[in-house]
Structure 1
Amino acid sequence: MRQKRAKSYRKQMLVYHHNFKFREPYQVLVDDKIVCDTHKASFDLVKGLQRTLQAEVKPMITQCCIQAIYDTKDQDAIDLAKTFERRRCNHPPKEAKPPLECLESVVSVNGVNKHRYVVASQDLEIRNTLRKVPGVPMVFMNRSVMVMEPLSRSSEKLSRYQEKQKLFKGLNDPSLAGKPAPEKVSEENAPAPGSKKRKGPKGPNPLSMKKKKENDTPDEAKNKVKSDPTTTTTTTTTTATETITNGSTSRRRKRSHKSASSRQREIGDEQSDGETSQEKK
């Protein structure tokens, strides 16, 4: 396979991988015509699918398609089809339906490729009907080369829609543009206790906060001292040690706080004593 073609196939499978949730190994549904054509051309179908999809594959075939191969009476093609995994189509073998109806009923479940099948078919009518179902990769043989079809219109529309949903999801949702913010839930309309709590800022940890100091009244302090004899013994020992270490305590001068009237009297007496002493001289 050429490098340019392999690169385009890789891009297509990435679209199916991200937008339609395809996973390896890919489940490939083959029809009766591609099995017969690859066997006649001595082409290895499984290896060709692996090279085209660039991943591990799991080839599968329905009971109706095997019944169509039985009608050709090509024993080598029948043996090759028996090596593939059987996909139940819920159609009885005696009342086998044509491959077109069978593959359409298996692939399109309510208009969606629910089981994520890759379809390998040589029938143009099958490929035209399955192009209407979004998310169905299709592979066919062109002479001796296996080719994968580009994205169909339905698949391309759905992939673009999903990409837009990813872009405008959440805060960038255009449906919420211009609308006011939702109001806070009141206490009456609060959620039930079993429901999940909304995350947000919380208050401080009460264990890490400092406790307030209580200002005791003098009566309460006396009662505490009386109730705790150990505190009295400790205070007496501390005072005794202070007296021993300091020796004789230094006496401080006591200041007398005199009033203004007594000070004026003293000043007047001093002036009178000075006048009498001058008269005697």
Structure 2
Amino acid sequence: MRQKRAKSYRKQMLVYNHTFKFRQPYQVLVDDQLVLETFNSSFDFVKGLQRTLQAEVKPMITQCCMQSLYQTNNQGAIDAGKQFERRRCNHDPKEPKSVLECLTSVVDVNGKNKHRYVVATQDVEIRRRLRKIPGVPLVYMNRSVMVMEPLSNASEKVSREVEEQKLYKGLNDPKFAGIARDENDEAGAENQENKPKKRKGPKEPNPLSMKKKKTTESTGSISSLSASSNNISTPTEAGDVSGTSKNKRRRKHKKSNDKPNDSADSIQ
């Protein structure tokens, strides 16, 4: 598959995921003509679907489509159809409906694709009918290449409306503006009013900031401490004066310059 085509298919499936809530693995309804086409061209149908939808798939076939395959007497196509999961269409197997009526009744539930089916069909009339239903991806074979149709007008219209609702769902929504309230909003407001209000007042002190009272020591430990303190002798009592006494500074005498000349006096 070319990169440009794969990118467009990925964008289309993102629209189906976000707008119509499609989830993996995708449920793919297959008709009898597509089973015959893929079998005759030796095309791997499941791998082709996975490559086209770029996700895990779950192929399904209705009982009416299987009855149409039985009428072709193509044993290989019948065996290929039996490998798919059987989708109950609630039609009488003895009097099966046409493939167009069967697929339309399964997909179209009150004008919506309720079960989120991807329809893979070669019938042009079926694709034309299902384009009117929003949110129906259509897949078909074109010259041994599996192709997915672009978004139909109905699907594109619904997608545009959903995006506009998401864009303007703020202040323009009366529910958020306070003009009108839903039952859920009113119930929530009543629950908030019924809640008991917290009483305001002085708060208790933080228990971590409060100091614990110091416990008094036993009398035995006090007496032992006093006895040991009496046995210790101070330096003054022991007479260790050398440790405490400071060295006395010697007084320096001034030298006198005018000394009496004893030798001169003796000569006179």
**Structure 2-normalised TM-score?**
0.69
Q: Which runs of 4+ in 1 moved over 4 A?
A: 191-195, 202-205
The reply on whether 1:94 has 2:89 as its aligned counterpart is no
Look up the match of 1:30: 30
Measured against aligned partners, the alpha-carbon deviations of 1:203-258 in whole angstroms (never above 9, x if no partner) come to: 67435289xxxxxxxxxxxxxxxxxxxxxxxxxxxxxxxxxxxxxxxxxxxxxxxx
Residue correspondence of structure 1 range 26-175 to structure 2 within 5 A: 26-173=26-173
Look up the match of 2:15: 15
Q: 1:5 corresponds to which letter in structure 2?
A: R
Shift of 1:84: 0.2
**Percent of paired sites with the same residue:** 67
Q: Distance in 1 between matches of 2:28 and 2:109?
A: 16
Shift of 1:40: 0.2
Structure (1 or 2) with the greater helix fraction: 1
RMSD over equivalenced CA pairs, Å? 2.7
Look up the match of 2:230: none
Q: Distance in 1 between matches of 2:65 and 2:152?
A: 24
SS at match of 1:92: coil
Q: Distance in 2 between matches of 1:150 and 1:139?
A: 10
Shift of 1:150: 0.1
Decide whether aligned partners of structure 1 residues 106 and 182 sit closer, same or farther in structure 2, where only a CA change above 3 A counts: closer
Shift of 1:172: 3.0
Task: Give the number of aligned pairs.
Answer: 199
The reply on whether 1:206 has 2:201 as its aligned counterpart is yes
Q: Distance in 1 between matches of 2:187 and 2:158?
A: 40
Q: Distance in 2 between matches of 1:93 and 1:205?
A: 75
Decide whether aligned partners of structure 1 residues 194 and 117 sit closer, same or farther in structure 2, where only a CA change above 3 A counts: same
**What residue ranges of structure 2 are gaps of 5+ in the alignment?**
181-185, 206-268
Q: Distance in 1 between matches of 2:98 and 2:58?
A: 23
Q: 2:146 corresponds to which letter in structure 1?
A: M
Q: 1:156 corresponds to which letter in structure 2?
A: E
Decide whether aligned partners of structure 1 residues 99 and 192 sit closer, same or farther in structure 2, where only a CA change above 3 A counts: closer
Shift of 1:198: 5.8
Q: Distance in 2 between matches of 1:193 and 1:149?
A: 46
Match of 1:197 among 192, 196, 206: 192
Q: Distance in 1 between matches of 2:6 and 2:97?
A: 36
Q: Distance in 2 between matches of 1:207 and 1:68?
A: 84
Q: 2:64 corresponds to which letter in structure 1?
A: C
SS at match of 1:50: helix
Decide whether aligned partners of structure 1 residues 71 and 3 sit closer, same or farther in structure 2, where only a CA change above 3 A counts: same
Q: 1:102 corresponds to which letter in structure 2?
A: C
Q: 1:208 corresponds to which letter in structure 2?
A: K
